[in-house]
Structure 1
Amino acid sequence: MVALEQKALAIFKELQVKYQVELQRFMNTNRASRRGTVWSNPDRGVHIAKNARHSSKLDISSTAELNKIKRLENNARWLGYGMIAVDAVVRGVSVYSDYENGSDWHRSISAEMAGFGASTAVGIATGAFITTHLAASTLLMLTPYGWIVAIGLGFAAGFAMSIGTNTLVKKAIENIYDRKPIHTGNL
């Protein structure tokens, strides 16, 4: 362990000498905490390597791999935003349909808005929690497929929780709107 630590410090010194300009440019654009990063503080890198909670971090060896992960993250984010937008449009069409048919569209919009807010919040929170915890586990050893599995499972769990929350909240709001007592067995 001591030999590896000495080797890491030697590599760090060599990196500082050979790539001084590039590292300075990188550090100017990417601010770090007061402890620094592995690029500015060799002890930080050694500490991270020794710490057990960092054992499943990604081993990125090229900028191409980093760019692939960034693209995957951005595509997953836009897919999530797209799903939220489609949900909002479908709910709006449902309310408009009730308005056109002469139904009680105030009741419909109340239920749809409450269901949209609650299901979106629960879906995002569940998806983020599952993805984060799966990504921090051993799934990252399967990189890049581990990321796809983690994001996919987080997406599926968030979607399932969102649907369940939507059903419960809409039913509760409709019952409140109609001033009916809520019976948990009939939801």
Structure 2
Amino acid sequence: MPKITLDEFCAHWVSGKWTTAMASRLENNAFNFATVAGEYAKRQFQASFSSGGFCGGEKWAPRTSRWGRKFTHPVMNDTGALAAGIKGEAKRVDIVGRRSNNTRIFRKGAYYWIYTTEQSVPQKGKRGRKTDRYKNYATVHNTDPKFGLYTVNQYSSRRPVHRQFIGFSPKIEDHIALHFVDMIFEGFPK
């Protein structure tokens, strides 16, 4: 597939000085798309805690240990700090390219960063020890088990069950493709 520049792409709809305006509209639409899609994904991750499974899908593994079964709160929802700690932030980034005549062009790209601010703090009888390598409690559940260095509590070497609550979801991706992708070309001639 041949590569084309943003200006060549926009020239398919307009010509002359309007090419720059269309490129700016595309940049703005891309930022709006990233923001709306990111906010939707963040809400789905937060809703996982009320539904009891990642993005409303398969339920999280129940507590099986004798110690864990004594807790009556829903799995992954003791204090609500994990769900409340999920944050999102839209960012614009510079993209540097070259036109066909070798002049540099600058454009803005966009992405939406979803992260958690909840910290793993060892609590007697609740959470395991924290290492300097992994500071967020989210690492316990979203990191591949072979890389996770957490233990079920500070007195054990047993690894916890992993229950994903942030990450790639085909359900979210399909919803975004169906409902939000058209935003990228909003205001373009049809």
What TM-score do the two structures reach when normalised by structure 1? 0.34
More strand by share: 2
More helix by share: 1
Higher Rg:
1
What TM-score do the two structures reach when normalised by structure 2? 0.34
